[in-house]
Structure 1
Amino acid sequence: MRANGAVSLRELARVVQTSEVTVRRDVRALEAEGLLDRRHGGAVLPGGFTRESGFPQKSHLATAEKTAIADLAAGLVSEGEAVVVGAGTTTQELARRLARVPGLTVVTNSLLVAQALAHANRVEVVMTGGTLRGSNYALVGSGAEQSLQGLRVSRAFLSGSGLTAERGLSTSNMLSASVDRALVQAASEVVVLADHGKLGTDTMFQTVPAGSITRLVTDEPPGQDERAERELQALADRGVQIAVAGRPGAEPPGVPGGEQGAGAAGPEPGAGVHQEAGRPGPERPRRDVAMPGPRRTERPGSAPGTAPGAPPPAQLRTPGAASRVADLAPRRR
């Protein structure tokens, strides 16, 4: 970890030739001694307020969770939309799925996002200006921020280093945080993509306050991760819409009689998915919690404003008992 800044449990198990269960136990003991900080699927050096792992290390952490999050988030994007996508390994996964949405315009400061969309048919990519930051292959600085002035899109997809209900989304680098704030100013809605290992983690520079986050797309925390569960509820109490992807490895069921993504060809094989909290889904028992504001009665599988004869929108489904959907809303006091 001193050499790389972060390490995955899988890689540790391979190097020391033991099981991931043993490695996880040892990592927990090292964290208790203050020698490292655990992250889901791996560990990083302590001192998260100032330390930032580079792209090679981040790309090996929580890969299955990022895939499930990207699958779910891609269902929010419709044909012909214009969106901004920030830098990060999770947003890179999202970009790979957005390549299937025709007529899409994507504004980004990330070379990795642009690369994922470079050969997509009928997808226009607009790059910001700025100075290249090599650790995450992103354009930052005043040039990037000035190129975003006067821009207006439907929504922004952002990731970060940590997310709390108190401070919102944060990152360890000042230049990255400044550009992300400029991306937020250009969007009507803000969608944060963060695996559950980032929930409850606070880093040095605030990117988006919790009150400005429209929606959080995350994965399901393990049953013993009480901190992540508390943070999810606290974010819901602040009005953030929570969408939780299914457990990694769960096979998505087929969607009879329709497409599986808005303008997309559906999730890639083997992706675990999902139902968005608050959206119509399969007719089965579920926990319904009243959301604030006026309620509308709609038929399952329909969406407001859908023209007669139009194809049904994406139905994001949960693969039975293999996953759980968090349908969180503000608690009544």
Structure 2
Amino acid sequence: MLTRQRKELLLNLLKQDGQIVAKALSEQLGLSEDTIRRDLRELAREGLLQRVHGGALPLPPSPAMGNFSQRQQIAGEAKPAIGQAAAAMVEPGQVVFIDGGTTAVQLARALPAELRATVVTHSPSVALELVEHAHIEVILIGGRLFKHSIVAMGPAALEAIAQIRTDIYFMGVCSLDPQAGITTGDYDEAGVKRAISQAARRTVVLASPEKLHTASPYQIAPLSSVGAIVVHAGVDEALLAPYRAMGIEVVVAGGNHLKA
């Protein structure tokens, strides 16, 4: 069995059983216990499981995996501050893509009244925030409604996204981790976010505190594709250090101050 096949099997068994006991599994599969342990260590480094003595457990789920109304109650002070900091990054005349999600809605609300720009979004919630904005042209991407994030997805959305090149993509994520990268809880949503990022000159991740140092099942992109991360001032600097070490700009927002 190839390494990739073993790892896929391990992740499926972990999802099915809720735990992996290396000794018992090695006997069941006819593989050495050392091989199983090595695969588990590598999967843990990739942010896909939690390594424990004798085996592995699933990662604690990101709080951002909850539904839209539940997520509105999380990090209530941080999200408006992150939205304001992100809005300050938009320059007149730019074409920007604003993702779906609760923090993205705060970004749309924070865009200055005098700003002249074009906002592309597949989020009806974001589009509605900009209805009364006199100087912003809104391009709304359509498709099948993904109710968890209240965004359009599917072939129609991907086709429209492929026709637009944006200056900045403000990405909302479920999870962000130095090893696992940018991840989310839905396979198709990961593909849509990846397509939007690939069509943007720069990707800026909106990372409210509950999303840092967590991993979800499906990778959107490695951190090498990220130009900047916007976080709240209350985040421990130790959590931010790995991103800075990778050369990613970290914008810290909160209160009356903003720093990179």
Which residue among 262, 267, 275 is the counterpart of 2:258?
Answer: 275
Matched, 1:188 2:171: no
Matched, 1:197 2:197: no
The C-alpha deviation readout for 1:296-328, integer Å capped at 9, x for no partner, is xxxxxxxxxxxxxxxxxxxxxxxxxxxxxxxxx
Matched, 1:140 2:153: yes
1:11 corresponding residue in structure 2? none
TM-score (norm 2): 0.73
Paired residues, what number? 202
2:12 corresponding residue in structure 1? none
C-alpha distance in structure 1 between counterparts of 2:200 and 2:105, whole Å:
19
Residues 237-316 of structure 1 mapped to structure 2, 5 A cutoff: 237-246=245-254, 272-277=255-260
SS in 2 for 1:275: strand
Segments of structure 1 that go 5 or more residues without pairing to the other structure are 1-45, 223-227, 247-271, 278-333
The C-alpha deviation readout for 1:168-226, integer Å capped at 9, x for no partner, is 2211111221111111011101100111221101111112311111001101235xxxx
Segments of structure 2 that go 5 or more residues without pairing to the other structure are 1-58
**Greater share of residues in helix:** 2
Equivalent residues of 1:161, 1:198 under 8 A apart: yes
2:178 corresponding residue in structure 1? 165
C-alpha distance in structure 1 between counterparts of 2:158 and 2:68, whole Å:
22
**Greater share of residues in strand:** 2
2:123 corresponding residue in structure 1? 110
C-alpha distance in structure 2 between counterparts of 1:107 and 1:94, whole Å:
13
Identical columns (%): 32
1:74 corresponding residue in structure 2? 87
Closer, same or farther in 2 for the Cα pair 1:131/1:111, shift >3 Å? same
Equivalent residues of 1:107, 1:127 under 8 A apart: yes
Which residue among 138, 141, 152 is the counterpart of 1:125?
Answer: 138
Query: Amino acid of the residue matched to residue 100 of structure 1?
Result: A
C-alpha distance in structure 1 between counterparts of 2:201 and 2:104, whole Å:
18
Query: Amino acid of the residue matched to residue 248 of structure 2?
Result: V
C-alpha distance in structure 1 between counterparts of 2:103 and 2:229, whole Å:
13
Equivalent residues of 1:78, 1:101 under 8 A apart: no
TM-score (norm 1): 0.58
C-alpha distance in structure 2 between counterparts of 1:121 and 1:56, whole Å:
28
Residues 9-48 of structure 1 mapped to structure 2, 5 A cutoff: 47-48=60-61
C-alpha distance in structure 2 between counterparts of 1:134 and 1:94, whole Å:
20
C-alpha distance in structure 2 between counterparts of 1:178 and 1:105, whole Å:
23
Equivalent residues of 2:64, 2:71 under 8 A apart: no
Matched, 1:154 2:171: no
Higher relative contact order (CA 8 A, sep 6+): 2
Matched, 1:231 2:239: yes
2:228 corresponding residue in structure 1? 215
